[in-house]
Amino acid sequence: MNSLKASASSLRSTVFLLMILIFTKPINSKDFLQCMASKFSTANVYTKESTLYSSLLLKSQKNPRWLNSTLAFKPLYIVTPSQEPEIGVTVLCSREHGLQVRVRSGGHDYEGLSYLSRAHFVLIDLVHLREIRINMEDQTLWVQSGATLGELYYNIAQRSSTYGFPAGVCPTVGVGGHISGGGLGVLTRKYGLVADHVMDARLVDVNGRVLDRKLMGEELFWAVRGGGGASFGVITAWKIKMVPVPLTVTVFTVHKTLEQGANKLVDRWQQIADKLPDDLFIRIIVQNVGGGSYGVKKTVQASFNSMFLGNVQSLISVMELIFPEMEVGAKDCKEVSWIESILYFAGHPSGTSREVLLDRDHQLYKSYFKAKSDFVNQIIPETALQQAWERQLQVDEAYMVMEPLGGMMNHIPETQLAFPHRGGNLYNIQYIVKWKVNEAEEARRHIHWVRMLHAFMSPYVSKSPRTAYFNYRDLDLGINGNNGTTSYLEARVWGTKYFKNNFERLAKAKRRIDPSNFFRDEQSIPPFG
C-alpha cells in the first residue's frame, strides 16, 4: 500500500515537473522567425529589437495604465499582416513554437487583453487590414476588422447622406473587437446592435484556414456576433447591411446639477427611457463639475445627451408630450446630418471637419481608467442614485453613463445572437473612474473606489446573474487560469454574467472550432465539456 502511495506521489511530481518544463520551455526567437520566413517571406514581423516595435505596441492602446503592468508580458513579436494568408501562417508558426497569440484591431479593450498576456505570445495587429468596400446598390458593405468606427462612418457618409450604421460613439474603437462583442450606440433603440446587421464574416481558424459564413457554419457565425472574437480565431472582415437615416437629425444636451433637480429628472427618465419612440435616444452622463480654485461648489451634474431621427419641430412635440419635465426648447437643439451627429456624440465642437474621424490616435479617447457595468431591469430608487452620486464626489473624475434600451432591443430574442441583454432591460450603466498619474497607488485607490460603487449598486441592478456587457470588459467578474485548463463549469462564474444561458452554446461552438483551446485569454470561452 505504502509503495503504491509512494509511486503515485512520484508520478504526480514527474507530471508536475513535466508541466513546468512544457510551460516554461525556453523560446528560441529564431525558430518562430524562421518559420515565418519559410512560410511567408514578406511577412511584417517586428521583434523587441526592431526600431518600430515600441511605437507599434503603444500606438493603438487606449488605456495606457497597462504600460506599467508587471502582471503580464509584452509581445515577443508583433505581426502586422496585410493579407489573410499572413495571419494563417502566424497562427501556424505560433502553435508550432509554443507561443500564444493576441489579436488587436482598435486596442480599446478595457483590460488590455488584446496586447498583453501572462504567457509568451505574438501580437497580431490588424492595423493594415482596414479596407472598406461599400455597395450602395444593395446597401451593404465589407469592412476589414482593423478599420475604426470613425473610418467606417466617414466612408459611408462620403457615399450617402441617407444611410448609416448603428455602432458605438467613440470613433477610434476598432471594428474587430466592437462588432464581435455586440456594439451598442445611439441607433440601438431604433435598429439594435451593430452585430444584428452582420450578414457574413471571414475568420482565420486555428489551422490557418480562412472561413466565410458558409464554411464556418451557422453556430460559429452566431458565436462571433456578441460572443467576442478572441475565443474563436482571427476575424478579418465583416459584411454589414447599412440602415436608413434621415437627411436631418436633431441633437441636444440638457445639463442639470443636483441643485437644479437632476435626481428628479433622472427618476422620470428611468420610467420612460426604454419606452420612448424608437426614433429618440436619450442617454445620461453623470459627472462631477465645479470645485477647483474659483470657489465654485463641487457638485454632480447629469447631462441628457440625445439624438432624434427627425427635425426640431417634431422632436419638441414629442418631448412636450412625453417628457415635459425636461423643458427642451428649440434653443437647446441643433439640426444636423447623421455624420455631424457622430461628431457631436464623439465630443467634437460644432464645425469640426469630419476628417477628424480618420484620426485613429486621437488623444481625446486615451486615459488611465477602470470601468464596470450593469444592466438595470427595475427602476432604481431616487435615494439610491442620490447616494451613488454622493460617492462620486469622493474622486476627481468619474462618470456614470446610463444608456437606454427598449425599442428594437425588445423585439430581438435573447438567443438570436450571443449577446443576450435584450427585452426586460431598461438601460445599462457604465461606471468609469479616471486618474491622471500612472502610478500603482493611484490605480489601486481609484480601482478600489469603483469596486465599492459597484458593490453599493448591487441591490438595485440585475441579479442571478448580475449581468455585464462583454465589450465593457471587467476582469473582476472572474478569470481563467494561465494554462488553458479552466473548465467550462469554472468559467461559468464570469461567462453567464456576460452571456447568460448563451454561454453553454458558445462553449459548444468553441469545442467545435478550437478544441485544443489555442485561442485563449483571461476571459476566453473554454471548450464545452
Ligand X SMILES: Cc1cc2nc3c(=O)[nH]c(=O)nc-3n(C[C@H](O)[C@H](O)[C@H](O)COP(=O)(O)OP(=O)(O)OC[C@H]3O[C@@H](n4cnc5c(N)ncnc54)[C@H](O)[C@@H]3O)c2cc1C
Residues of the shown chain interacting with ligand X in the complex, contacts defined by CB under 6 A: 62, 102-110, 113-114, 126, 145, 168-170, 173-174, 176-178, 180-181, 183-185, 228-230, 234-235, 365, 471
Q: Which is nearer to ligand X, 181 or 526 (CB)?
A: 181
> What is the DSSP-derived secondary structure letter of residue 162?
S
**CB of 65 vs ligand X, minimal distance in Å:** 12
- Give the shortest CB-294-to-ligand X separation in angstroms: 29
**Residue (186 or 333) nearer to ligand X, CB:** 186
In whole angstroms, the minimum distance from the beta carbon of 169 to ligand X comes to 4
- Asked if residue 118 lies in contact with residue 71, where contact means CB atoms within 8 angstroms, the answer is yes
Cβ atoms 491, 526 nearer than 8 A: yes
- If we measure between CA atoms, which residue out of 182, 180, 158, 163 comes closest to residue 237? 180
The residue (of 109 and 474) whose beta carbon lies closer to ligand X is 109
Q: Smallest gap, in angstroms, from Cβ of residue 15 to ligand X?
A: 31
Q: Are the C-beta atoms of residues 377 and 421 closer than 8 Å to each other? A: no
Pick left, alpha or beta for residue 418 (phi over 0 → left; psi -120 to 50 → alpha; otherwise beta): alpha
- Tell me whether residue 113 or residue 326 sits nearer to ligand X (CB atom): 113
User: Considering just the CA atoms, what is the radius of gyration of the chain in Å?
Assistant: 24
Q: Residue 465, preceding bond cis, omega within 30 degrees?
A: yes
Shortest separation between residue 194's beta carbon and ligand X, angstroms: 8
Name the residue nearer to ligand X (CB basis): 238 or 488.
Answer: 238
Nearest approach in angstroms of CB 184 to ligand X is: 4
504 touches 519 (CB < 8 A): no
Residue closer to ligand X by CB (options 62, 454) is 62
Nearest to 419 by CA among 143, 113, 184, 203: 184
249 or 319, CB closer to ligand X?
249
Quote the CA–CA distance of 288 and 434 in Å, as a whole number. 12
Q: What is the DSSP letter of 428?
A: E
Instruction: Assign 353 to helix, strand or coil.
Output: coil
- What are 297's three cell numbers? 461648489
CB of 454 to ligand X, least distance (A): 17
